[in-house]
Amino acid sequence: MVSGTIYKISLTTESLTVLNGTTNLTLNNGNYASLGSNQWDWYNSELYVNIGSDPTGGNIEAGQRSYGIWLNGKNYITVENIIIRNVNISGLLLNNGSTGVIVNNVEGYSNGNETFKQLDTTSATYNNIIGSYNLDDGFSLHDSAIATINTGTFNNNVSGINNQNSSQITLNDVTISNNSQDGVWVLGATGGSGGITTINNATFTSNPNNLKIQNDQAINATNVTISGGTFGLYLNSTGQLTFSGVQISGVSNYAVYVFGSTTATISKANINNNNTSHIIDVESNGSLTLNNSLVHNNRGASKYSFIARSGSNNTIKNTVFYNNTHGLYVDTTGIIALYNSVLTSLGYGIAFYSGAPATNVTLSNNDFYSNTTNFYGASPTNTNGLAIDPSFTNPGGSDFTLQYISGLINTGIDVGLTTDYASNSVPQGSAPDIGAYEFQTGTVSSLAQYKSDGTTSVVTGNWTNETTMVLKFLMSSTSSSDSLTDAGNIRPFKGGEECVARNKQR
């Protein structure tokens, strides 16, 4: 014992990580004689710890090895069914061109830096891995390395996954949560050749920067769910940034933040219930294209659904803005082209500030309905615009499909989109619909008519004196999620009976 509950033990190799059971102790460097509770220090070949009690006979562990497994120029190695914990630097390190490495069912916890790390031109495939509670990253990739992760969990690190320089990583089915800085941090080399990040199915929960892209890295992300944290998408990269099927809710700052010289495309996004400063914010020189998306139920004082700052150039197609505090914000030289979209149940539909002229916004075939004020500060022309109830199926329940009575059906223009939010083909009728969903008309086939017994057929065009008829037909839709209801009727005409059958969605 040194004093109070501070104890020490001789330790020749300096530790970078110290645990009490499964709890990482905090380094209080240089204060070995005055450590607070759950702190440690290494000084003059001695390890000092304070866990608030006598550690004798307890479970204090201090890292001594630099690496759990080090593959230095080793090719076609399989590592599997191992737990790596409490090493000083990396749990599993690949460098010096190691290729063809396969990692199966490996878990890493409480390592001094990261659990998994690749350098230079290495390549590896990881299946079912965990990298958690490390003092730096769960997984890090550098230089020109190539990695594929099939099912991975990364939580309670500094960054869950760190992809840097011109490296390339593919993430399939990953879960990333509660990291202290970033969920996935993609950092390309400034002015260098950019790397590539591909994401197929990822869940982010409560990371300050859930998905952060910087410098010249490119990303292609599909089916990304983000909840909690500070930023949803933090985008500042000159690489090609493409997102499809993004869901963002519960973040406390920006759901989507675009700045620098970034050009990004987001399709089929569902951005809802965020208590943020602003929902989507595109800063100077940024450019965002938003397609077939839903931005709804984001509430709070002075919050805007989409902000175009000075110098930004943005395009919005077939998107629904519903029940947010306000709609769009245009600042000075910010530009927005808005097509086939619905702005409803908002404060301001579009607000022009700092002398921004009406010409900064191009409007065509949009529906403005039930907003407190459609336009503030300028009055742009909404070419072929509407001001009607969109007749959503159940907007309060977040169902923004169109009822068959909707005046938005076949009233849009062709803006180059071939599918809608639900991946149904566009158009279904004579023209695209306004909104994120294309109305599904369904089809009627195998129409047959019978006498009241339901079995005696009546040939089409023939006479019958029946007062009751039985009609049988098949209804189908291109969408497996549709519920079809018949809306048929019979009306008499001179010389016989005519049946007119219609069908509608939901």
348-365 pLDDT, tens per residue? 999 999 889 999 999 999
Name residue 399's beta-bridge partners: 394
What are the tens digits of pLDDT across the range 143-179? Answer: 999 999 999 999 999 999 999 999 999 999 999 999 9
Categorize the per-residue pLDDT at 492 as very low, low, confident or very high, splitting at 50, 70 and 90.
Answer: low
User: Quick one: tokens of 71?
Assistant: 């593959």
pLDDT at res. 503: 41
pLDDT at res. 362: 98
Say whether 34 sits in a helix, a strand or coil. Answer: helix
C-alpha dihedral, 374 to 379 to 385 to 391, nearest 10°: 0
Enter the DSSP assignment of 12. S
Query: Is pLDDT at 506 greater than 50 in this prediction?
Result: no
Give the Cα separation of 237 and 400 in Å (integer): 33
User: Quick one: tokens of 359?
Assistant: 């010409």
Query: Per-residue pLDDT averaged across 61-78, rounded?
Result: 93
pLDDT at res. 481: 53
Provide Rg for the chain, Cα atoms: 30
Would you list the domain boundaries of the chain? 6-62, 76-252, 443-505
What are the tens digits of pLDDT across the range 309-357? Answer: 999 999 999 999 999 999 999 999 999 999 999 999 999 999 999 889 9
8 A C-beta contact, residue 443 and residue 475: yes
Categorize the per-residue pLDDT at 191 as very low, low, confident or very high, splitting at 50, 70 and 90.
Answer: low
8 A C-beta contact, residue 183 and residue 210: yes
For 88, residues 6+ apart whose C-beta sits below 8 A from its C-beta are 15, 16, 17, 63, 64, 65, 66, 111, 112
* Three-state SS sequence of 381-413: CEECCECCCCCEEEHHHCEEEECCCCCCCCCCC
- Top-confidence residue, 268 or 57: 268
pLDDT at res. 474: 80
8 A C-beta contact, residue 235 and residue 257: yes
